[in-house]
Structure 1
Amino acid sequence: MSEFVIAVDGGGTSCRAAVADRAGNVLGRGKRGSANIFTTQDAIGHNIIAAASEALQAAGLSTEELPRLPAYLGLAGINVGQRQKALAEALPFAQTEFVHDGLIALQGAMGDDDGVMAILGTGSVYLSRKGNVLRSVGGWGFAIGDQASGAVIGRTLLQQALLAHDGIHEHTPLSCAVMARFDNSPEAMVEFAQQGARPADFGAFAPLIFEYDRQDDPLAARILRDAVLDVSEALDAMIFEGCGRLCLLGGLAQEYSTRLSPRHRRILREPLGDALGGAVQLALRAFPPAPLVEGRR
């Protein structure tokens, strides 16, 4: 068994990897593009390997070590479909274990404590831990799930901009700003959406919504009202009696934290750490060092 482990946090926007020793010390980190399980298989494998290789190099280790190291991967969308086996076969690691990225985020945010966590980034998912019982809701992907995520509200913004262009709704400064991104061409917007736009591409429009909401734009307010309702409903379904800790993670966590209802803000706490740190913790448990053989040191 190697003296090092590889931990991976693969989300809809980026893939981060860390190399850690058996004491949990992170020796090197790497980062590449999306590692959502619905990313093209060649691309996700390439991004994972590239991020892990960069982490090895940052740790002063050779990339030739990859086939000798176990890897623990928390990937967005891994709870859906059966692509894990093919992906595991395509990766070079000595051992490979997959979990949903929400699990590593929960571990990073709360350690071994009980509580509820929401990841609000390109996608969205909610997890809770009470004793030994783990529960997860959401995380069903951009096509039919991920409510309140950056990808979904970004797509909603484009839909609403087209409704304003067609005269069904009134234009607002936000809808005008979005149309301007496409040179005021609805055809260009449709081309963008239909020709391979990924969740992260739609999610890139999400910051505009929060920016214009601070300027009292009615379209931004309407989109966020519905999104916050989605978050609140999910949290109400997850928060258990006696729950004293709620953590938000992801690129939109800070924006949503200020918009939560008072009942949720009362138990809102800062995360202890991030998802990659959680992946390191779980990797060390998943791949314990081999026991010493009597007479050998």
Structure 2
Amino acid sequence: MPHHRGRRAGSPAHGPAPVVLAVDSGGSGLRVALASEGRTVGAPLVSEEPVRTGPRGIDVGHLLEQLLPMARKLLGDAGSGPPQAVAVGATGFASLGDELRAELPAALRRELGVRRVALAADAVTAYAGALGPRAGAVVAGGTGLIAIGTDLESWRRADGWGHLLGDCGGGAWIGRAGLEAALRTHDGRPGGSARLLARAEELFGPVTGLPGRLYPRTDRAAVLASFAPEVAACAEADPVAADVLRAAARHIAESTAAVCPASGEPRVALTGGLFRMGDPLLVPLEAELRERLPHARRVASEGDPLHGAVRIAAELADGVPALPHDERMLQVRMTEN
């Protein structure tokens, strides 16, 4: 994980620096790190079990079942007292975070003795990890896709609506478009790809059985996204696959433009596994971004969402995080007594 040296203007000149706890709760599981002065202490701990959601949204009890043993081990191994601050970035926080907002700060104070808690959408921790407290836009792409931007006064987000309603240009979207092209060839309809049909049947078996294998699954977005690398692998020799990735690039650039500040020299960064597909996606995407956002500066992502949670927690330990506060995007709770 990249390191970031946090501000220590208000810290004493001598004695150990306070530690903070950073949590990244995402679709692939839970990661927890201890940090001091903005730098991780030891290796993060990882659970591959995603936090459940229920009728009340994100299941706080399930989050705590995983988080508390990991936090106590990290604190014990470091010989540390209570963390001075905790930052939690959670998938679904904006729309499914009511229980988290209502119960988690008090539970963390009771169980870990922490008095400063930042709760954030995982898109916000992705932004903080990629750009820090700077104006701009960040696209987080994996199975899904969301763009988030800020002028440091307020947040704007685009897409992130899930694989049935949006996430346009994300892994599931690309995989679904590639499978549609395969099915078109199977049916004898125009716009199909024999190459993608062959790859689909190598991975999933005869495509006539694909609906029955896909539709009942609760992880169908991940199954669709598993075909996205096949689309990228075929793109050099297959114009249909290349067109799918060019369309994905247009969607991603449109979402980025929707959230990017219109003035100044905002930074734009990409983060997430989607962009490891390389040139077949990145070359058309860079062209689309240059066309839509000529005033923006493309930069490499500095870190991932866990690094962003470390940054937010370190800033909270010193005072108040610099990124804009918003009940559904980034909320800070501080109790000094």
TM-score clears 0.5: yes
**Contact 1:78/1:84, CA 8 A, preserved across alignment:** no
Q: Does 1:26 align with 2:40?
A: yes
**Contact 1:173/1:217, CA 8 A, preserved across alignment:** yes
Q: Aligned to 1:116, what secondary structure does the other structure show?
A: strand
- Please give the per-residue CA displacement for 1:54-113, whole angstroms capped at 9, x wherever unaligned: 565466539xx99x8964221222222455449956x96336653211111111111212
Q: 1:11 to 1:86 in 2, by over 3 A?
A: same
1:107-186 equivalences under 5 Å are: 107-169=128-190, 170-186=192-208
1:100 partner letter: A
Match of 1:192 in 2: 214
Unaligned runs of 5+ in 1: none
**Contact 1:123/1:150, CA 8 A, preserved across alignment:** yes
Q: 1:47 to 1:291 in 2, by over 3 A?
A: closer
2:314 partner letter: L
Deviation (angstroms), 1:35 = 3.9
**Contact 1:109/1:271, CA 8 A, preserved across alignment:** yes
Q: 1:206 to 1:45 in 2, by over 3 A?
A: farther
TM-score normalized by structure 2?
0.70
2:40 partner letter: V
Deviation (angstroms), 1:172 = 1.9
Q: 1:88 to 1:76 in 2, by over 3 A?
A: same
Q: Aligned to 1:194, what secondary structure does the other structure show?
A: coil
Match of 1:222 in 2: 243
Determine the C-alpha separation between the residues in 1 that align with 2:60 and 2:256. Answer: 31
Match of 2:224 in 1: 202
TM-score normalized by structure 1?
0.78
How much is the aligned-residue C-alpha RMSD, in angstroms?
3.8
Q: Count how many residue pairs are aligned between Structure 1 and Structure 2.
A: 287
**Contact 1:12/1:122, CA 8 A, preserved across alignment:** no
Determine the C-alpha separation between the residues in 2 that align with 1:87 and 1:275. Answer: 23
Match of 1:281 in 2: 311
Determine the C-alpha separation between the residues in 2 that align with 1:36 and 1:147. Answer: 24
Q: Aligned to 2:206, what secondary structure does the other structure show?
A: coil
**Contact 1:16/1:30, CA 8 A, preserved across alignment:** yes
Q: Aligned to 2:46, what secondary structure does the other structure show?
A: strand
Q: Aligned to 2:245, what secondary structure does the other structure show?
A: helix
Determine the C-alpha separation between the residues in 2 that align with 1:114 and 1:86. Answer: 26
Unaligned runs of 5+ in 2: 1-17, 320-333
Q: 1:162 to 1:115 in 2, by over 3 A?
A: same
Q: 1:230 to 1:292 in 2, by over 3 A?
A: closer
- Tell which deviates more after alignment, 40-49 or 161-170: 40-49
- Tell which deviates more after alignment, 72-81 or 147-156: 72-81
Provide the identity percentage: 26
Match of 2:289 in 1: 264
Determine the C-alpha separation between the residues in 2 that align with 1:102 and 1:292. Answer: 28
**Contact 1:121/1:251, CA 8 A, preserved across alignment:** yes
Q: Aligned to 2:270, what secondary structure does the other structure show?
A: strand
Determine the C-alpha separation between the residues in 1 that align with 2:49 and 2:252. Answer: 24
- Please give the per-residue CA displacement for 1:9-35, whole angstroms capped at 9, x wherever unaligned: 2333343221224x2331230223364
Q: 1:181 to 1:100 in 2, by over 3 A?
A: same
Q: Which has the higher contact order (CA 8 A, sep 6+)?
A: 2
**Contact 2:58/2:92, CA 8 A, preserved across alignment:** no
